[in-house]
Amino acid sequence: MTHSLTPRDEGNLPALGAAPLIRLDAYVAEDGSTVVNGHLLEMGGMRPPNEAILDAVAMFARTLGAPVAATVIDRTVQQVARLRVHPDGSSRTIADEDDLPPGHERTAAEEAAFPPLARVERIIQHAQREELHAAFVLASALREHLTLRRGAEDELSLEARAIEAYLAYKRGDHMLSTVLALTVARIRCRTDLHRAAPDVARATAAWQRLWDEGQVATRGQELLHMWERLSAAGLLQEPAHQAMAQAVRSRLAQGGRSVPPPASAPAALPAG
């Protein structure tokens, strides 16, 4: 189920008193799925994503009676564009700093207007209804924009990536899930080792589903190193985590052949 983006819906408008040039955000997935401000657009026919984004942002501008800026991450062409769209529908490319406050101030204002946690709730609702494609695209959009604003190591960025990894797992894309979850675990091991074990466990759960021998070996060696770091630091206390570490070690020792995963090691949605 997709959402038709309507600016009259109060949930889509900036908070009262929001700065007039707070940037909206848009995202185009590799398959052309298009998100504006945390809502998946209904794309009729063969309408190009860039046209749909411009129309949606222009609706905001007309409703607010002022120009609206937007940051567009387009994965079909691997680029980030920043636009200003006027109420009459005209638009132009702008620089990152044009007419807007400095980065941290702008990020705070944008997230006050469009809270990331509200978007997480929407993603979870889609997932609970088994609308996994919509949930995954929205999670990818959230992670991309949070990473752009806050950096990959920010707590919200990490949580968004962990949710994206979980949804990839649910969709059966275990390679992507492993890559995403390993990124979270890698960052956590570097920045906050005491909190890393659950993230390493989620990455291990995804890795256990891989069949490509090269990927099993490469990713497995990294996982084993993480588990050994946790053990050396006295942080491998949970029996389930100890079992997962041993499962990685055993599978690598057997040349990457599949071994039964521990019963208590399913992928889990990160705590919100």
Whether the pLDDT of residue 259 is over 80: the answer is no
The rounded mean pLDDT for the chain is 85
Both structure tokens of 126? 């889609």
Both structure tokens of 12? 């889509």
How many residues in total does the chain contain?
272
Query: What number of H helices and E strands is found in the chain?
Result: 9, 6
The pLDDT assigned to 5 comes to 40
Please tell me the distance from the alpha carbon of residue 226 to that of residue 218, in angstroms, as a whole number. 13
DSSP state of 89: S
Both structure tokens of 64? 């607010």
The pLDDT assigned to 137 comes to 98
- Out of 86-95, 159-168, 217-226, 258-267, which region has the weakest mean confidence (pLDDT)? 258-267
Domains by residue range for the chain, with CATH = 10-113 (no CATH), 116-253 (1.25.40.10)
Q: Each residue of 173-183: pLDDT tens digit?
A: 999 999 999 99
DSSP reduced 3-state for 79: strand
Q: At what angle are helices 155-170 and 197-207 packed, to 10 degrees?
A: 30
Q: Are 185 and 225 in contact (CB under 8 A)?
A: no
Q: Each residue of 115-144: pLDDT tens digit?
A: 888 999 999 999 999 999 999 999 999 999
